[in-house]
Amino acid sequence: MADLTDIFRIAADKRSSLLEVTDACRLFNGVGDGIPGVTLDRFGDRYQLQFFSADAAKGYEQIKNAVLDLFQPEFLVAKFRTDPSGRSLEHPRMDVVAGSAELARGTVREGKARFHVDLLDTVNPGLFLDMRDVRLEVCERFGQMSSAGASGCEGVAEGSSRGLRFLNLFSYTCSFSVHARLGGAEVATNADISGKILDKGRENYALNGLDLRPGEFFRGSALEYVPWALKKGLKFDGIVLDPPSFARFKGGNFNVREHLLLLVSECAGLLNAGGFFMVSSNYSEFVLEKFSADVLSAVRSVCSKARTAWKRSQGVDFPGAGLSKESSLVATLVEV
């Protein structure tokens, strides 16, 4: 095998252009960069090294030292996600390799936005890197709609100042909504079952100078919010549905294989004409072509003229996407 430092340097150099847009990206993506089961993420001056198999973890000492030598990070944590069942995701082994625990927290930039991260908060620091391109597009789309005025919507003339609305389901730390508001959305509603996570979303709003507006934070499941919003007659100009593969909540659960497409068709009833709807999943058994076709069919059950704008997997910093469970994404955007 080539020198590990050279392997990581080559991978990082391929991502150098991303620094114009963000200081948070995946610097090394397992099999796509030459070492299966190993990833390295950068969050500003903080780095996260992850091992996804016992075989990959055998190279821990050498890989750790290569990362330290090459990047000289202010903070580096190694996380071991080697339990095949995934049961250890909330409490994985985490070794602080460089820096102190206090340095795990900081902020990163992404386009117009800034986000809080905490690299010692379970396996997820607060920002999913493989959704960056979609977040930037959400900001751009609301910027375009805001500049042009709401057009094509029933009962709304072109150039109207009707406030643009965005819905973020399974919102996590509300990063999509921050981009939507920065782009020009008047209201960006976040639905998540975790009050702690929504509080982090509020902190991200504050970090970006965004005021909190009525109706923007709903503590509860998407399966609760969508029927309620339909009964209220609420409409949105953009919706993002980026669910986990499985989630528990009071009185039930969400399983992406069983519940996603029904939820997609229900969400379609919340869309204004001229709006967009992005649906994605990290469930490794989904196939992009079928996933995109199924989502479009579900939306068309409500909006007959819906069309697929794009379908894709992870971005340029995720080479080899789809070749391993730890690097798997299917995403599609539908316009109505």
For 74-126, how does the pLDDT look when each residue is reduced to its tens digit (9 = 90+)? 999 999 998 766 555 667 899 999 999 999 999 999 999 999 999 999 889 99
CB 35 within 8 A of CB 7: yes
In which band, very low, low, confident or very high, does the pLDDT at 159 lie, cut at 50, 70 and 90? very low
How many other CB atoms are there within 10 angstroms of residue 127's CB atom?
22
- Say yes or no: 53 and 105 in one domain: yes
Section 149-163 average pLDDT:
44
- Say yes or no: 143 and 15 in one domain: no
Domain hosting residue 288, numbered range: 129-335
pLDDT of 19-42, one tens digit each?
999 999 999 999 999 999 999 999
State in Å, rounded, how far the first CA of the chain is from the last one.
50
Strands 236-241, 165-169: pairing is: parallel
CA–CA separation, 80 and 93 (whole Å): 5
CA–CA separation, 274 and 151 (whole Å): 7
- Say yes or no: 103 and 138 in one domain: no
Which of 107, 103, 104 minimizes the C-alpha distance to 203? 107
Q: What percent of the chain has pLDDT over 90?
A: 85
Q: What does the mean pLDDT of the chain come to? A: 92
Q: DSSP letters along 91-158, please?
A: S-EEEEEES-GGGGEEEEEETTEEEEEETTSTT--S--GGGHHHHHHHHHHHHHHHHH-B-SSTT--T
**What is the CATH classification number for the domain harbouring 172?**
3.40.50.150
Whether residue 124 is contained in a domain is answered as no
Q: Per the structure, how many domains does the chain have?
A: 2
Of 92, 118, 144, which closes a domain? 118
Task: Quote the crossing angle between the two packed helices 4-14 and 60-71, to the nearest 10°.
Answer: 50
- Say yes or no: 163 and 80 in one domain: no
- Say yes or no: 77 and 133 in one domain: no
- Say yes or no: 140 and 159 in one domain: yes
- Say yes or no: 139 and 254 in one domain: yes
What pTM, to 2 d.p., does this model score?
0.93
- Say yes or no: 172 and 56 in one domain: no
- Say yes or no: 254 and 289 in one domain: yes
